[in-house]
Structure 1
Amino acid sequence: MIIKKTPKLRVCFEPSSLYNLVTDKPLSRLENSRVVKDKERRFLFFEMSKQTKVSNFFRNPKLNDSTSPKKKDKKPVKKRIILSSDEESNSENDIKKVKLEKEKEQEDKVESSSEIEENNVKEEHDDNSESELASTNKLIDQKDMKDVGADWKKGEPVPYAGLCKTFEAIESTTKRLEIQEYLTSFFKHIIELSPENLLETLYLCLNRVCPEYENVELGIGESLLIKAIAEVTGRTPQKVKNELAKVGDLGKVARDSKNNQKSISSMFGNRDKLLTVFKVFNSMKKIASLTGHSSQDLKVKEIQNLLISCRGEEPKFLIRSLEGKLRIGLAEQTVLICLAQAFVVTDKEYGKLTKVKKTEELTEAIKIIKSVYSELPSYDKIVPALLKGGIKNLREHCKLTPGIPLKPMLAHPTKSITEVLDRVEGHKFTCEFKYDGERGQIHKFGGGTTKIFSRNLEDNTAKFPDIIEKISKAANSDIESYVLDCEVVAWDLEKHTLLPFQVLSTRKRKDVKEAEIKVSVCLFAFDLLYLNGESLLMKPLEERRKLMNNSFQEVKDEFFFVQNINATNTEEIQSYLDESIKANCEGLMVKILDGLESTYEPSKRSRNWLKLKKDYLSGVGDSLDLVVVGAFYGRGKRTNVYGAFLLACYDPEHEEYQTVCKIGTGFSDSDLETHFNYLKEKEMSEPKSYFNYDKGTKPDVWFEPCQVWEIKAADLSISPKYKAAVGRVSDTSKGVSLRFPRFIRIREDKKPEDATTSEQVAELFQNQYNNKE
């Protein structure tokens, strides 16, 4: 077999032990070629200057055997020659002809069969008038395993290619039910064939390597990924960057670079060992654990090892996972729904049920798994329990557990006292001061261990070591375990008063030593969620509050219960609101005290808790927490800093940031300097592929999503220039924008993914519209 190549074609060989079939000796160099070794001596590059026989490059002995074995007695060992895609010639058809000759007929049959079957499934889906869950069930039962990537045998590890095939199918559709169908089907096959890989698969679907509250990050920058891609594919980093600038998706760049290479093993019908979900997950976990001086080099090597084994779409999704964004429109709530459905349809008794009963089973399963996850957000606990006892027994094994934070219950904003009274009519309710601080969830467990978690489940114990001592003084000595919901505020020890949130934000975030603390804090407790082995979530707020008051004692300047009254009319609420403002609070929290509507609802923004701020009484009913994605250079006195910024909300369903407004007011000179010094390190020449913006609002510089700002505005309006909540409030491509936005503060306690969502923007706009009517 002859391959005709132009001069200076670079051919990359790996592994490094090669033989020449003609001379039957180890290959150290090639005639008429120049050998170039990479820095780590991982690959050899040959620059060929004339026709070269591929057979002269390849043979199949054991690596340590210096003699020539009989070819007929030995099975081929997988080796590859990788042709650099930067200098690939036009002889691709010659190689493909050899490679595909034997496979063509079989592939045609498979494709034809799959096409017919897929069309049948789609036609049936279009005609289906059942409910959403029933529709999902019907399609799941009829899908062929290969369609969703389940092309492995029972007991074998789940291939990464199968997961990527599922990701590809999900990425190809925007229909919510189709997304659920693909993922539910894939989970179903894993439960049936390789249940031991279900946990790793779930984490890869969510782009995590551990529970969210462990706050583990991969610590991989774009430059490291570019370096790894360049070295594996024989390209220069600059060429990879140039391609990234064109495509805007490093995952696609990696896929195209890798798949444009030619592998000698593929020409001879050999295939590298398949990547498995288990291998990819554990490699990512290893990358996240690497620290120290040489950690970056070790991370690059680990990434290279994965890329070398990648085929097809695998490089695209691998790189996206390492970047931290799959960008296939797969939200966590969807993953939970699919997990629940998969366990239901896997049950042997499920097929015997009527359609109505099947729908009921699916609905109840989704309700159970969402409820359990809101209390115990740990797949490490939930998945083993599901595999052992199924959905119906899940609540018995997975409950609120001290040491594992739950996402806090949130309040719904209101714009008037009348609105508050309308909502709580017929119920006992309480009004509490709303303190200007940071949400804290304090856990005591395991014989005296105490931890403090933030609203986004971050472990803040190292940030607030002084709180450990304060809470130990306040808690009764007979309490063995508890989970307490409270607000951490900056406190003036001399004046015994609250200090603004800006003062609290000046405290160090990590490795704080008590001797170095300059800003004192005080705790204001408002809810008790767990006490001495018992979850209190389903108890009425009135009962939870009594238990809290009996279990803790106030300590001057260190621990207080939130100030509250049980109001009954407009005048009382207005008077208490004015009192809260005088006390340097933000306003009031109004909560239902009795009945089923007074239970604690983890991770939910509930209308059973209402927040009423002084500035809510006019304009937008709530401030927005938005992500900075771009900036415009300043003029005049702002020449040396950014003069205005482009902000965006977050759409978790589509995993994208949607622009919402341009802001240039509310900043002091020191604010602008601070923003410039921080954000200049986050600049990008091109926007991320998951930025949804209008070209007419393109900023001078783009930023990595890295910081959340609290913003106030006069009101919201429909705009053709911005993409927030696009499709939710208008049938056109118009989105929602803020009128007269004003910067309030940086939200240090929020990650970009915790920003105001597109759904919340749409709701604020709709509320504003309804109030005007």
Structure 2
Amino acid sequence: MSSSRPSAFDALMSNARASSAAKKKKKNTPPPQASTSSPSPIKRKTQDPDSAKVEAFSDSAKKSKSLTTQTDDELKSKVVLLKRKPGDFDPERVSWWEKGERVPFLFVALAFDLVSGESGRIVITDILCNMLRTVIATTPDDLVATVYLAANEIAPAHEGVELGIGEGSIVKTISEAFGRTEAHVKNLNTELGDLGLVAKGSRSSQTMMFKPEPLTVVKVFNTFRQIAKESGKDSTEKKKDGMKALLVAATDCEPLYLTRLLQAKLRLGFSNQTVLAALGQAAVYNEEHSKPPKNTKSPLEEAAKIVKQVFTVLPVYDIIIPALLTGGVWNLPKTCNFTLGVPIGPMLAKPTKGVGEILNKFQDTVFTCEYKYDGERAQVHCMEDGTFEIYSRNAERNTGKYPDVALALSRLKKPSVKSFILDCEVVAFDREKKKILPFQILSTRARKNVNVNDIKVGVCIFAFDMLYLNGQQLIQENLDIRREKLYGSFEEDPGYFQFTTALASSDIDEIQKFLDASVDIGCEGLIIKTLNSDATYEPAKRSNNWLKLKKDYMDSIGDSVDLVPIAAFHGRGKRTG
């Protein structure tokens, strides 16, 4: 706001007060005798222009306030319909914007408010499903942004795009946007335990001169992405300006959810799995492309399952949602495939407590035992052009953290290997002593922009699975075939690259000795896997076909620790105590 505006506004209000005093004086003065000549219309029109402006603004503000209150009540009564069972829901009765118009952010915020009052998974899924159905029915182009906000994300995890906003910056933004002191905002945050509630309360108690232009879902989402891109000089101020612009324009419950989204803490009791289920169900109701496959007992459950499964191999809403809208949910597994360069969810193992339990579960099944190394899970993608991308278990991009891993793999892959996806464990390793080091040593390495010449903690790659090789997907192949591809694609170099130590046996004594040996060299225990029956790779699933036997899980083995509590956290807000 320029420095001239306050003085102009003060002058305007001063004239208004003078005009008001003159009117009161005139009211108490006897009316003058009527003039024989008519008053000049020009004089009547131009008389006291500042007073006319203030009166016009006052009348406009009253009408605007009345209209806003009435409209908000009507909108809330509309949005409540989202709680209906999807079979009884009509999107046209909820939407207050025209088809093709941008979806108001208030619609999503009010839907979140409905969810906040529920605890049942089915009801929450129904609300989200109906919310997404409304977006599809009115403005399908806004569906990607809506789903990202519902999932509390701004980009796929592997892209590493983050808002990078601390609580202190949000406190400053709230204080500036709503005319509060930082100390006041901090005190309220301490009392309420939720900056979102602080923002909502600050907005509701703030007098607004002008009604801001309504926020849209796309406006909020694009602003978030722009905030995430800010870097370098003055980036903190630019981020704050972006947040402030949103909060100043926010009304009703929008400040609450804007603030929580900025904190990446939506606090609504559902995960992205619920969002995926709701997306699949919404697609069924809006399906125009094809009917469910024959013998589909529950189309809603099957559609939710399809969307979740596709997301494990291609976790990118920007690709999945357009494919869903154009090709339909039933064709989604065909239109969205496993893609080199995009990490899939790693297969996980279920815990078990002893060798006997393993033999019982894998009775009459061929299985293999592998050392479970104490390192960091890594999914390594080698592109056709020879470049590498390395992702963590949570799909975080770790390429800059492990340049030595890329160098080792490029050196040790065979000439016939042009592209691959390797599942492995990166473990801290002392090459002089030929010894595996604890995970705590590995955690001391820098996380970003590591220079190979500055590396002090060496690592060894222990490879155990191959998911993709030279353009061929392998996740549908059994482990014995995937392992054969793995062994034929690399040369081992002790201390740099090794295949996991494995044992194929069903003898309880042999397996016990193998477990003891793994613990002795610094491993966590064993991973036991089916080899050639029901042995496909199941992304993002904790499967019964993989079992883990860690020393910590066993009844006969375990470490004891002596601890003295020195501090405790009492909690915030409703979590206090």
Which residue of structure 1 aligns with residue 126 of structure 2? Answer: 181
1:622 deviation in Å? 12
Q: Which runs of 5+ in 1 are unaligned?
A: 1-13, 21-25, 34-47, 57-67, 71-75, 82-93, 126-135, 266-270, 624-631, 635-641, 647-685, 696-773
Q: Map residues 605-624 of structure 1 onto 2, 5 A cutoff.
A: 605-618=542-555
Of 200, 207, 213, the match for 1:255: 200
Give the conservation status (yes or no) of the 8 Å contact 1:451–1:460.
yes
DSSP-derived class of the 2:566 partner: strand
Question: Structure 1 272/170 Cα, relative in aligned 2: closer, same or farther at 3 Å?
Answer: same
Which residue of structure 2 aligns with residue 284 of structure 1? Answer: 224
Q: Which runs of 5+ in 2 are unaligned?
A: 24-44, 48-52
Counterparts of 1:511 and 1:105, CA distance in 2: 55
Q: Map residues 306-705 of structure 1 onto 2, 5 A cutoff.
A: 306-348=246-288, 360-596=298-534, 598-618=535-555, 643-644=566-567, 687-689=571-573, 692=575, 695=577
1:80 deviation in Å? 9.1
Counterparts of 2:70 and 2:319, CA distance in 1: 47
Deviation per residue, 1:518-544 (Å, 9 max, x gap): 121111110001111121111111111
Which residue of structure 2 aligns with residue 707 of structure 1? Answer: none
Task: Using the aligned pairs only, state the percent identity.
Answer: 40
Deviation per residue, 1:245-299 (Å, 9 max, x gap): 222211111112112222244xxxxx43211111111111111111123111111
Amino acid at match of 2:238: L
Counterparts of 1:302 and 1:368, CA distance in 2: 37
Counterparts of 1:15 and 1:172, CA distance in 2: 43
Question: Structure 1 103/313 Cα, relative in aligned 2: closer, same or farther at 3 Å?
Answer: closer
Alignment partner of 1:245 is 2:190: yes
Which residue of structure 2 aligns with residue 232 of structure 1? Answer: 177
Amino acid at match of 1:491: F
Amino acid at match of 1:166: A
Counterparts of 2:67 and 2:506, CA distance in 1: 82
Higher mean alpha-carbon deviation, 479-488 vs 292-301, is at 292-301
Counterparts of 1:111 and 1:517, CA distance in 2: 59
Amino acid at match of 2:554: L
1:502 deviation in Å? 2.2
Deviation per residue, 1:433-455 (Å, 9 max, x gap): 11121111110114111111111
Amino acid at match of 2:141: E
Which residue of structure 2 aligns with residue 138 of structure 1? Answer: 87
Which residue of structure 1 aligns with residue 42 of structure 2? Answer: none
1:486 deviation in Å? 0.6
Amino acid at match of 2:117: S
Alignment partner of 1:220 is 2:165: yes
1:374 deviation in Å? 0.6
1:605 deviation in Å? 1.6
1:103 deviation in Å? 8.0
Give the conservation status (yes or no) of the 8 Å contact 1:80–1:264.
no
1:579 deviation in Å? 2.0
Amino acid at match of 1:609: W
1:501 deviation in Å? 1.9
Counterparts of 1:564 and 1:317, CA distance in 2: 50
DSSP-derived class of the 1:610 partner: strand
Question: Structure 1 614/319 Cα, relative in aligned 2: closer, same or farther at 3 Å?
Answer: closer
1:215 deviation in Å? 2.1
1:142 deviation in Å? 4.7
Quote the RMSD (CA, aligned, Å). 3.7
Higher mean alpha-carbon deviation, 614-623 vs 376-385, is at 614-623
Give the aligned length.
549
Give the conservation status (yes or no) of the 8 Å contact 1:542–1:594.
yes
1:17 deviation in Å? 7.0
Deviation per residue, 1:359-387 (Å, 9 max, x gap): 62222211211111111111122112112
DSSP-derived class of the 2:468 partner: strand
Counterparts of 2:527 and 2:76, CA distance in 1: 62
TM-score for the superposition, normalised by structure 2: 0.86
Question: Structure 1 105/305 Cα, relative in aligned 2: closer, same or farther at 3 Å?
Answer: closer
Question: Structure 1 69/603 Cα, relative in aligned 2: closer, same or farther at 3 Å?
Answer: farther
Give the conservation status (yes or no) of the 8 Å contact 2:86–2:130.
no
Counterparts of 2:260 and 2:72, CA distance in 1: 29
Counterparts of 1:312 and 1:528, CA distance in 2: 52
Give the conservation status (yes or no) of the 8 Å contact 2:344–2:540.
yes
Counterparts of 1:363 and 1:614, CA distance in 2: 38
Amino acid at match of 1:421: L
1:348 deviation in Å? 4.3
DSSP-derived class of the 2:488 partner: helix
1:112 deviation in Å? 11
Of 245, 260, 276, the match for 1:305: 245
1:458 deviation in Å? 1.4
Structure (1/2) with the larger helix percentage: 2
Structure (1/2) with the larger strand percentage: 1
Counterparts of 1:398 and 1:69, CA distance in 2: 68
Of 117, 139, 146, the match for 1:172: 117
Amino acid at match of 2:217: V
Give the conservation status (yes or no) of the 8 Å contact 1:452–1:459.
yes
Counterparts of 1:241 and 1:514, CA distance in 2: 44
Deviation per residue, 1:66-119 (Å, 9 max, x gap): xx999xxxxx9xx999xxxxxxxxxxxx999866667888888x599869x95x
Which residue of structure 1 aligns with residue 235 of structure 2? Answer: 295
1:552 deviation in Å? 1.6
Look at both structures and tell me which one has the larger radius of gyration over its CA atoms. 2
Which residue of structure 2 aligns with residue 7 of structure 1? Answer: none
Give the conservation status (yes or no) of the 8 Å contact 1:487–1:525.
yes
Give the conservation status (yes or no) of the 8 Å contact 1:616–1:622.
no
DSSP-derived class of the 1:617 partner: coil
Counterparts of 1:69 and 1:619, CA distance in 2: 96
TM-score for the superposition, normalised by structure 1: 0.65
Counterparts of 1:570 and 1:51, CA distance in 2: 98
Amino acid at match of 1:158: V
Question: Structure 1 107/171 Cα, relative in aligned 2: closer, same or farther at 3 Å?
Answer: closer
Which residue of structure 1 aligns with residue 41 of structure 2? Answer: none
Give the conservation status (yes or no) of the 8 Å contact 1:80–1:263.
no
Question: Structure 1 102/574 Cα, relative in aligned 2: closer, same or farther at 3 Å?
Answer: closer
Which residue of structure 2 aligns with residue 719 of structure 1? Answer: none
